[in-house]
Amino acid sequence: MNTTMNMVMMRPLPGLRALPSTLPLEGAVRIELEEGVPVFRASGSIQARIEELLLKEREVVGLTTEEKEELDRYEEIDDYLSFINRVVRNLMQPRPGKET
C-alpha cells in the first residue's frame, strides 16, 4: 500500500451527525476542475444560506437554537468536503519515480 493511502487511512474521517433540514437532496454540491483535479464545493444556494446564517449570527439578535444547529451541520459538511478534497488532491499528486 502506498504512503498516501496509509496517511489517508490513519486520519479519521470527519463525522456527520446529521444533515441540515434545509439541505436540498439534489444540487447541494458542485464539482469543479482545478488543474485537472476535481474539487467538491457547496453549491451557490448552500453558500448563500451559510452566509445568511453567519450574518445573522453576528447581529444583535443572533441565531435561534435551530439555526445554530443548522450552521453546525453545514460546518460539518464543509469539514467533510475539505477532507475529501485533500484526499483526492493527495492521491492525484505525482509520486517520485512514477510517470504521470
| Model confidence pLDDT, tens digit, residues 44-97 | 999 999 999 999 999 988 999 999 999 999 999 999 999 999 999 999 887 776
pLDDT (0 to 100) of residue 12: 73
| Predicted TM-score of the model (pTM) | 0.76
The contacts found for 19-25 with CB under 8 angstroms, 24 or more apart, are 19/73, 19/77, 20/70, 20/73, 20/74, 20/77, 21/70, 22/49, 22/70, 23/73, 23/77
